[in-house]
Amino acid sequence: MALSEGTTDPGAKPARAAASDRRGGVRYRRAALMGVPAFLAASTLVVLTAQGALAAQFAISGMPFVVSADSLEGTGFGQFGALDNMAEGSPNAGDTGGQVLVIVTAIREAKLTNLCQSVELGGTYLHITAGNKGTPVKASGLTTDSTDITGKLADFDNIEIGGDASTFEKPPVKGPLGSFGQQADTVRLNDLRQTNYATTAVRFTLPDLHMNFSSEGC
């Protein structure tokens, strides 16, 4: 039945309510679109972290530990400088302000033979060994934060020195924008010795693991 002039359809929404619905729909759509980049960024971070493309960030204890190995072989090597931070109020901060300048070494896949790690704990050492019975230690997405690195021999394939570490593609992690760094396809080190403040890895496999307290470090 046709409506006569001036008659209101009981099923129709008032003009003000309809306009409000349209504005509400626009706001919801706009909010959803604004949320898409944030969701994609968060998803990307999760994926990259799972793939070892981002180093895990944590507050260091501020207690250095020694790592040594008879040999290290790795693919996807990179190195650059960074700052490690201790937890606020750490008793190990001393006069450092809670920060330590470190050399970050990042290796996509690494093998180490006769690995030793030790940390001094008030006159005794927590001592860890692995990979000393013919099967090497393996690590994926390995990063070490060091203040001192030595070795009797270092051999690199296709090394690039002086590049911006934020543009690196060979190692599993990138450095800060504008930071000096180096990267290479492969690295081989003999008689490796590091003083470290942090180590991270996506996967760390330690055959023949032995952990104990000792009167001597590595």
- Tens digit of pLDDT for each residue in 140-179? 999 999 999 999 999 999 999 999 999 999 999 999 999 9
Q: pLDDT at position 57, please? A: 64
Q: Residue 77 in contact with residue 170, Cβ under 8 Å?
A: yes
Distance from C-alpha of 50 to C-alpha of 97, rounded to nearest angstrom: 32
Distance from C-alpha of 41 to C-alpha of 45, rounded to nearest angstrom: 6
Lowest-confidence pick of 33-37, 99-103, 169-173? 33-37
Higher pLDDT residue, 56 or 65? 65
- Tens digit of pLDDT for each residue in 201-210? 999 999 999 9
Query: How many Cβ atoms sit within 10 Å of the Cβ of residue 199?
Result: 17
66-78 average pLDDT score: 98
Distance from C-alpha of 127 to C-alpha of 66, rounded to nearest angstrom: 10
What global pTM score does this model have? 0.74
Distance from C-alpha of 129 to C-alpha of 56, rounded to nearest angstrom: 24
